[in-house]
Amino acid sequence: MSLKLNPQEHQTLWDAAKQEQPSVISADELATTLPMPASLGCGGNQEIELQPGVELCLFDRTYHHKTTVSIHESPHLVQFMVYLTGTADSGDFVYQNADRGYIGGSGIQRPLQTCFPQGQRLTGVNIHLQPQLLFQLFGNVDGALPPELQPLVPGADQLQRVLSPRTTAAIRSVVRQMMNCPFAGGTKRLYLQGKVLELMTLQLQTVGLPDDPCRVLKPETMAQVQQAAAVLRSHLENPPGQTTLARQVGVSDRTLRRGFRQVFGTTVLGYLTEQRLTLAELLLRDTEMTVTEVAHRCGCSNPGHFAGAFRRRFGITPRQCALGMLSQGDD
C-alpha cells in the first residue's frame, strides 16, 4: 500500500492528530511534542522556537506505508536539515539520507514531491530561519553576507537555491547532542542556539564553492545537477558516462563537474561511489545477499576493490557489516 497526499491532505491529517492526541509541552515550556498521525505512522516532532525567527524541529518518525507528499510552489524560509537515519527522495530536487543533508535558501520553492519509504525510521533535525536573520547574524559592516551564505538569498529571479552538503561525523555528533540535550529551560535554549550555529557552520563548510563566489549556479542548472544525481542513483549497476550524463540532462561537461562540486562537494565519480557504498551498507545489513552479490548489485565488478573502498568509507569490512558491526561514527 502507498499513500499520495497533497499539501492540504497532509496538513489535515496532522491537524486531526492534534485533536486526537493533544501536543505535549515540556516541563520547562520550551518544547512542544506533536504526535504523528496514526494513519501515517508513529513517532512525531519536537518543535522549539529558539528565538524570534528561528524554529528548531527534532524529528523521530516512521511511516507505516510508502508515502509521497507533494508541495506546491511557495515562498521558502532558509532551511538546514540533517537526517541521522532514513531517506527522503525528492527526485531531481534533492535526495536526503544519513550521508547527505539539505540546505535550502529563501525565495520561491518550485513544486516537488517527496517520497518517504515504508518502515524506515526518520530521525534528525530541521531548522528554519527568517532570511533577514542571516544579515543580522552574519552580515559584515556593510550589511553584505559572506560568499558562503550568498546562495541562501534569492537572486533577481527570486527562485530558491538548494545545496546537498555531505553529512560528516562532526555534523552527526552535533545533531545527536541536540537531540539529547542535557539541559532545561533557559540553559537549554542557549545550548541549542549555539548548536544551531555550529551545525550551520559545519554544513556550509562541506559545500564546494565555485571559484568565483558571484557565479552561483542558476536554479535551472541546480535542477539539472540534481536530475543527473537522480539518474546515477537509479543506474548504480550500469551508470552513463559523464559526457553522456551531461548531454542527457542538458548541460556541458564543465557545468556538470562544477555543479557536482558546488551542490555535493565532490566529483561525479565521487558521488556515484558514495551512493554505491551507501546502498551496499543497506543491503549487507538488511538482506541475506553475499558480499560478492552486493558488490555486483552496486556496480563493483572487483570484490577486492569493493572491500577496500567499503572499509575506507565505513571503517569496517563488508563482512563485518553483514555480521552487524557498527560503522565508524555510529553509536
* Of residues 197, 172, 264, 255, the one with CA closest to residue 226: 264
Q: How far apart are the C-alpha atoms of 83 and 204, rounded to whole Å?
A: 16
Give the model's pLDDT for residue 44: 95
Q: How far apart are the C-alpha atoms of 46 and 23, rounded to whole Å?
A: 9
- Give 238's DSSP letter: S
The residue length of the chain stands at: 331
CATH entry 1.10.150.530 includes domain 271-322: no
DSSP sequence for 107-159: EEEPPEEEEE-TTPEEEEEEEEE-HHHHHHHH--TTSPPPGGGGGGS--TT-B
CATH fold of 2-205: Jelly Rolls (2.60.120)
Give the model's pLDDT for residue 214: 38
Per-residue confidence in pLDDT tens, the chain, 331 aa: 789 999 999 999 999 998 888 788 888 889 999 999 999 999 999 999 999 999 999 999 999 999 999 999 999 999 999 999 999 999 888 899 998 999 999 999 989 999 999 999 999 999 999 999 988 888 887 778 887 788 888 877 788 888 888 899 999 999 999 999 999 999 999 999 999 999 999 998 887 544 433 355 677 888 899 899 999 999 999 999 999 999 999 999 999 998 898 888 789 999 999 999 989 998 998 888 999 999 999 998 888 889 999 999 889 999 999 988 877 655 4
DSSP sequence for 65-84: SEEEEEE-SEEE-EEEEEEE
Q: Which helix (H) or strand (E) holds 55?
A: strand 54-63
Give the model's pLDDT for residue 330: 52
Bridge partner list, 89: 95, 115
- Give 250's DSSP letter: T
Give the model's pLDDT for residue 87: 93
3-state secondary structure at position 163: strand
What does pTM read for this prediction? 0.78
Q: Over the stretch 136-190, which tens digit does the pLDDT of each residue have?
A: 888 887 778 887 788 888 877 788 888 888 899 999 999 999 999 999 999 999 9
Contact criterion met (CB below 8 Å) for 77 and 107? no
For the chain, domain boundaries: 2-205, 219-266, 271-322
Q: 77 to each of 34, 154, 181, 319, how far by Cα in Å?
A: 21, 11, 25, 44
3-state secondary structure at position 273: helix
3-state secondary structure at position 29: coil
